[in-house]
Amino acid sequence: MTEKKVSRYADEAMFTATPLSKGEGEPLHPVVTVISMTPNPLRVLGAASEMYQGRPVHNPSDVSQELALYWFRSATKNKLQAPLEFIDIHMLIENVSRAFTHQLVRQRTAVYVQESLRFAVKENAALEVVRPPSLDGLADDHPMAVLWENANRYDANVYNALVSAGMPAEDARGRLPTNIGTRIHYKSNLRNLADQSGVRLCSQAQYEWKQVWARIIAAIVAYGPESERWQQRTICTLFRPVCYATGKCEFMAPTDRWCIIRDRVEAHHRAGEPPDTWTDIDPHAPLHPLAARRPS
């Protein structure tokens, strides 16, 4: 629980941010918690879909597993995917960078509430900066690692000194790095969440997105009663690189990066071979941190 410290801060609307959970000296790793999800999601989807054939359903529990799966398959084979919008998923995403959330909120079809640096004072800022993958595996005394950690400490010291001197947090936050750790509530319906997964599980996405999506999938699969998790497991089959949904590479502009699987995807596309026949492509290959960098 946060604590209000009027005596310490220049603005009475300033509060101490609850520290992000991490061990001393340990890097931040994304944490995803499903706060709520439409109960019996695929049965709800089935109840709505039954109306297409003139059958009103008043209780989702009346929709059998077989019927729910039938309508799920139908919705995913049709461009008119309105039934997927009846399923809402509300998540809390923690230990991610503000660089990540700046991209996340570009999804205009979702709802967000984020830890506010105008009001929440990051007293632990030096230890709450998300490390980029290029530093993974480097010794603590490697020049890049030293520069990174020194810059974090310097920025945090300046920020804390300004706040202590009476500067409002909304002004002092300008000294915090783009990768300062944060938390955000994120609610989306399934149709739009699946669309987002396509571009964020692609090789073109930055690595932090891939880390977060692995945890989103795990959190959704683990949500709800065990006896009904077949619905969550089925839902998660929608989350895959966009080429697996469209059958071709959707990032062919001159500004797009190289991709580890693009040539094979395009070869299958030219041959008219749909994604469910691709046996020479590992669907997890785009998740590698170097999947969009040409081999040297």
Give the whole-number percent of the chain exceeding pLDDT 90: 88
| 46 part of a folded domain | no
Position 10 confidence tier, pLDDT thresholds 50, 70, 90: confident
**Does residue 126 lie within any of the structural domains?**
yes
Interval 73-102: pLDDT, tens: 999 988 889 999 999 999 999 999 999 999
Residues 273, 196 share a domain: no
For residue 34, what are the CA distances in angstroms to 29, 101, 219, 220, 243? 17, 17, 6, 7, 27
Q: Is 195 in contact with 250 (CB distance < 8 Å)?
A: no
Is residue 64 in a domain?
A: no
Look-up: residue for tokens 């919008």? 85
What's the predicted TM-score (pTM) here? 0.92
Query: 261 with 166, same domain?
Result: no
Is the residue at 91 inside a domain? yes
Which is more confidently placed, 283 or 266? 266
- pLDDT surpassing 90 at residue 156: yes
From the list 183, 283, 193, 295, the residue with the least C-alpha distance to 243 is 283
Domain that holds residue 268: 246-296
- Rounded CA separation 59/146 (Å): 60
Mean residue pLDDT of the chain comes to: 94
Quote the pLDDT of residue 26. Answer: 79
67 inside domain: no
262 and 202 co-located in one domain? no
Residues 231 and 290 in one domain: no
How many structural domains compose the chain?
2
Same domain, 178 and 214: yes
Residues tagged active-site: 200
Which helix (H) or strand (E) is 112 found in, with range? strand 111-114
Q: Are residues 180 and 270 in the same domain?
A: no
Give the tens place of pLDDT for each residue, 208-225: 999 999 999 999 999 999
Q: How far apart are CA 19 and CA 3, in angstroms?
A: 12
Q: Classify residue 45: in a domain, yes or no.
A: no
Same domain, 108 and 146: yes
Are 7 and 143 found together in one domain?
yes
pLDDT at 80: 82
Per-residue pLDDT, averaged over 226-244, amounts to 96
Predicted pLDDT at 125? 94
Domain CATH code at residue 132:
3.30.1360.170
Domain boundary residue among 191, 216, 239?
239
Residues 117 and 253 occupy one common structural domain: no
